[in-house]
């Protein structure tokens, strides 16, 4: 059992948990993730590590509600426990002094982009961070990102905060203005990571993306998370999750992440029915997010 020391919403549907996990806290490096299971009948899902405190033995995870498990998780509070938390998993980000690094975080992906941006800054890079969200309420970790960036740019899809548009608009401007860029790291929705890759490919800018396929064990034993990179199967949990964006087959990732869409919707609908019944309310329509409630979207 892993105790939740503190739980707090950062934005609607996006919650940060501080979890007591001393072994993970001691070892965690930017780019890594955990797999967790909330309760006995639960599934295992990969979740972003935002930060950790080796002294206090705590790990911060950031979770967005998209399906049953993440809704359940985000209903937990300070003092509750999570049955299983395993990690840190995956290869750490390759941190070096590249020169100028552009770190792009989309939605909850910002939580994973943050430790990488911080590490790149510590390694002596000039860090330009671009954070994007659908609207003002969903912008997360602004202060944290600002603290580790030389330049911070924020976009919202609807223009309700900072600049209207997508993160890729900012990246395009940087490229068009002839800014020196030695590395781009993008973490977020697949469409965003693909758009970033397509933009930097003709410019031959080294670009790394953190992939978010469906996972079970997260230790390399099942291959459920296999992704097609440079025409070859790679296991994102042990060979990644970060890969050279220009070699990733994003279409296969999208296709594989849709594998259990029907089951996920069914699971979410039943969960919502149960929650409503408990609250004595009529069953609500399945929420919009549930239709994209792919496990992998967590990361």
Partner 1 sequence: MSPTVKKSLNPVPIKDRMKVPRQAMPEQAPQERAHNFTEVNLGYSEELAQREAQRCLECAKATCTENCPVGVKVTEFVELIVAGKFLEAAAKIREDNVLPAITGRVCPQEDHCEGKCLLGKKVKPLGIGYLERFVADYEQRMGKHVLPSVQPTGKKVAVVGSGPSGLTCAGDLIQRGHKVRVFEALHELGGVLVYGIPEFRLPKQIIREQLDYMREMGVEFETDVVVGRTITIDELMHEEGYDAVYIGTGAGLPQFMGIPGEHLNGVYSANEFLTRINLMKAYKFPVYDEPMLNLQGKNVAVIGGGNTALDAIRSALRLGAGHAYVIYRRSEAEMPARIEEVHHAQQEGIDFHMLTAPVEFLSDGKGWLTGARCVRMELGEPDSSGRRRPVPIAGSEFDLPLSVAIMAIGTTANPIVQTTTPGLGTNKRGYIQASEETQRTTRKGVFAGGDIVTGAATVILAMGAGRRAAKSINEYLATGEW
Indicate whether 277 belongs to the interface with partner 1 (CB under 8 A): no
Map the footprint of partner 1 across residues 86-125, applying CB under 8 A: 86-89
179 or 228: CB nearest partner 1:
228
Indicate whether 287 belongs to the interface with partner 1 (CB under 8 A): no
Q: Which region, judged by CB under 8 A, interacts with partner 1, from 23-31, 152-160, 174-182, 284-292? A: 23-31
Indicate whether 46 belongs to the interface with partner 1 (CB under 8 A): no
In the list 256, 272, 296, 298, the residue contacting partner 1 (rule: CB under 8 A) is 256
> What's the number of CA atoms in the CB half-sphere (13 Å) around residue 20?
10
190-200 and 250-257 helices, crossing angle to 10°: 180
- At its nearest, how many Å lie between partner 1 and the CB of residue 24? 6
Map the footprint of partner 1 across residues 134-193, applying CB under 8 A: none
- Within 8 A by CB and 6+ apart from 241, the residues are 31, 33, 90, 91, 210, 211, 212, 299
- At its nearest, how many Å lie between partner 1 and the CB of residue 246? 19
Q: Which residues pair with 102 in a beta bridge?
A: 128, 184
Indicate whether 68 belongs to the interface with partner 1 (CB under 8 A): yes
The answer to whether 34 is a known ligand-binding residue is: no
Map the footprint of partner 1 across residues 191-250, applying CB under 8 A: 216-217, 219-224, 226, 228, 233, 235, 238
> Sign (positive/negative) of CA torsion 112, 144, 10, 157?
negative
Distance separating alpha carbons of residues 173 and 218, to the nearest angstrom:
37
> Long-range CB contacts (< 8 A, 24+ apart) of 231-240?
236/90, 236/211, 236/212, 237/46, 237/89, 237/90, 238/90, 238/91, 239/91, 240/90, 240/91, 240/210, 240/211
Interface residues toward partner 1, by CB under 8 A: 23-24, 27, 37, 41-44, 68-69, 83-89, 216-217, 219-224, 226, 228, 233, 235, 238, 251-252, 255-256, 258-260, 263-264, 266-267, 270
């Amino acid at each position: 059992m892993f105790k939740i020391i503190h739980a707090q919403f950062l934005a609607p549907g996006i919650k940060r948990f501080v979890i007591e996990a001393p072994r993970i806290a001691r070892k965690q490096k930017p780019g890594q993730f955990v797999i967790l299971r909330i309760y006995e009948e639960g599934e295992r899902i990969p979740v972003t590590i935002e930060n950790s405190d080796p002294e206090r033995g705590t790990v911060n995870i950031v979770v967005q509600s998209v399906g049953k498990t993440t809704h359940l998780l985000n209903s937990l509070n300070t003092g509750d426990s999570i049955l299983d938390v395993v990690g840190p998993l995956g290869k750490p980000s390759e941190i070096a002094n590249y020169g100028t690094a552009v770190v792009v975080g989309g939605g909850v992906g910002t939580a994973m982009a943050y430790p990488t941006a911080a590490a790149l800054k510590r390694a002596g890079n000039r860090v330009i961070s671009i954070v994007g969200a659908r609207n003002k309420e969903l912008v997360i970790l602004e202060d944290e990102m600002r603290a580790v960036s030389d330049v911070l740019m924020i976009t919202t899809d609807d223009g309700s905060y900072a600049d209207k548009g997508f993160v890729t608009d900012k990246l395009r401007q940087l490229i068009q203005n002839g800014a020196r860029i030695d590395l781009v790291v993008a973490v977020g929705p697949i469409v965003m990571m693909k758009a970033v890759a397509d933009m930097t490919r003709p410019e031959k800018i080294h670009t790394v993306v953190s992939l978010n396929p469906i996972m079970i064990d997260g230790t390399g034993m099942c291959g459920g998370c296999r992704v097609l990179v440079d025409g070859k199967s790679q296991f994102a949990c042990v060979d990644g999750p970060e890969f050279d964006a220009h070699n990733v087959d994003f279409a296969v990732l999208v296709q594989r992440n849709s594998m259990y869409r029907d089951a996920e919707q069914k699971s979410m609908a039943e969960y919502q029915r149960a929650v409503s019944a408990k609250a004595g309310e009529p069953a609500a329509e399945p929420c919009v997010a549930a239709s994209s409630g792919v496990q992998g979207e967590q990361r």
